[in-house]
Structure 1
């Protein structure tokens, strides 16, 4: 059952009324934002609830008990997936050794083109000409053409972990430097830091910029023009992955508490928290059908939620390949692709 939060902005930060504190499972209301009670607590960190925070990991999956729905394509351990709609290409980053597999969406049974990568890809996004992959171990971004598989790399100082486009610029979250780099072409024109423990992914809902910090299990608002990291808001007990929906919200999987969270970006507020048992981890969004697809690694399942109303409504549920850490969707056909992190294939589902 969805619980709603009600917030009231004050000069000192955010005051929470009603059931919001219980909703977030946070013992103090002032722990919701990084600025809310700093003065009262001597400038302490209101978002850190443990002494040594650890980024959430996907729950370990049991052996597959039910045959996966749809069809399964042979592939190595999937680390990231994305669909390039213009070329009708499915991109799958795999490990051991690191490579990019390019599948024609209209003939997925055909052998994929394999493009070796200089390091493991932790994220993958579709761009104008193809795909952009963040390679933290190689300290680089990789641009892969969807047409011919041509590869070029852009060096990044540190460990790039996620990317997002804003106009003709590319934003890059850099995990170890706790920063958001702004790229004009292949040149870093600005680097924004402050307050973050770990910059794990970056998003641009409704023209805003939001960063996911897995160590603090929080989202932060970033002002690119001012070059500042602003307020942070707790994102459950173990924020894992996120996407932006057509309502300019950031949808976040909380892998520790078992929930799907929805945040507005302007202002940054928690709007929905919906319980999702089973270790929610990977997430993809179908903007045409307003469906969020969430993988449940504890159960080897993927669930499709209609997120267009006052609370998510389950529309689909399918058994998956083992350890379904990654998922993507083709908004054109509605097909859902789930990747096994243990190398048991790429599952293709037609709901």
Structure 2
């Protein structure tokens, strides 16, 4: 029977104190760190829920509700594919990128996307309507970027750090990470950094460059989002769990089992639903997280290799993209 496992500060301290000597990090439990990855999905043996439209292989999705645009990007393809969410059956548009994107997100400003381009040592600010790209040079292999407090915050793979930049000029450098991969906004001058190699969360003050104490995030965290309550929801792909962290202070509050190698994660703040793709099962599951513990509300069959999911907070429509090119799945709720 599924049950909620509550975590406490003492348990967190035990996790952070079990490092072996010589690793240089209290969260690093081995000298060889490997990020968790999705399962290789089996052939789909059940018809996917909703509607499936043709789409190229995609590992990343981003939705701009203001322009009704869903953007798809593949890890080995230097192209953005743009769907009109009001008419997803129509032929999508394409925008050529300088190199493949490691992350893709809507900026919050209507009609603009941000893509981190590690092979190009740049972050691309993309105008959805015109396809124009403002290339911002950021050396060090940028893998994620977000705008916060009037600055561009960038996680860098090669330098193992996070930088605060102003039009490409580096103002502050925050080091000491193993594999910074995902940035999460938390207030005007604070972000949280998901480190996929150390499988940890670390608070960072972008105004001062100060780092807070890091906290382990399961056995192999891969994706994280912020919910409407200010918590951080994290998928532990290797540990098959959904984790929830309070942020003031940073502490794990919930651990909930999610079998099937969970990977893609999206959050619907209007309906308080966390949508998670299960790559070992070609399934999509939604948990109501408004209560004291997650409660499963939907479980749906998907296209093969559902590595990425996003949701429209206005309509509740869910979009799942296949990393093997079996299409874009549209599920209206």
TM-score normalised by L of structure 2: 0.93
2:196–2:221 contact (8 Å) kept in structure 1:
yes
SS at match of 1:30: helix
Contact 2:18 2:27 in 1 (8 A): no
Moved runs in structure 1, 4+ residues, more than 4 A?
40-44
Shift of 1:95: 5.0
Count of aligned positions:
328
Q: Which deviates the most, 185-194 or 333-342? A: 185-194
Local SS of the residue matching 2:116: strand
Q: Which runs of 5+ in 1 are unaligned?
A: 8-15, 22-28
Counterpart position of 1:6 = 8
Structure 1 residue 44: Cα displacement: 5.8
Do structure 1's residue 321 and structure 2's residue 300 form an aligned pair? no
Instruction: Show the counterpart of 2:90.
Output: 110
How big is each residue's C-alpha offset from its partner over 1:155-183, in whole Å with a ceiling of 9 and x where there is no partner?
A: 11111111223232221111221111112
Greater shift, 113-122 or 46-55, is seen at 46-55
Match of 2:206 among 210, 221, 224: 224
Q: Return the match for 2:133 from 142, 151, 172.
A: 151
CA distance in 1 between counterparts of 2:216 and 2:18 reads 14
Classify 1:340/1:37 alpha carbon distance in 2 versus 1 (closer, same or farther; 3 Å): closer
Determine if the alignment matches structure 1 residue 31 to structure 2 residue 11: no
Give me the whole-angstrom Cα distance separating, in 1, the residues matched to 2:180 and 2:147.
16
Q: Distance in 2 between matches of 1:304 and 1:204?
A: 23
Where in structure 2 are the equivalents of 1:73-84 lying within 5 Å?
Answer: 73-84=53-64
CA shift, 1:349, in A, is 0.7
Q: In the alignment, is residue 122 of structure 1 matched against residue 124 of structure 2?
A: no
Per-residue CA distance 1:9-66 (angstroms, 9 max, x = gap): xxxxxxx0xxx46xxxxxxx5333xxx689x989963312223111111111111111
- For residues 205-243 of structure 1, give each alpha carbon's deviation from its aligned partner in whole angstroms, at most 9, with x where no partner exists: 244311011111111121223323331111000111111
Structure 1 residues 84-126: Cα deviation after superposition (integer angstroms, max 9, x where no partner): 0211111111355421111111111111110011111121111
Inter-CA distance 220–311: structure 2 relative to 1 (3 Å threshold): same
| Structure 2: 5+ residue stretches without partners | none
Paired residues for 1:34-183 under 5 Å:
45-94=25-74, 97-127=77-107, 128=109, 129-183=111-165
- Over residues 290-311 of structure 1, what are the superposed CA-to-partner deviations in whole Å (9 max), with x where a residue is unaligned? 1111110000111111111111
Task: Pick from 259, 270, 282 the counterpart of residue 300 of structure 1.
Answer: 282
Taking a change above 3 Å as real, the CA distance of residues 43 and 304 of structure 1, as seen in their structure-2 partners, is closer
Q: TM-score when scaled to structure 1? A: 0.88
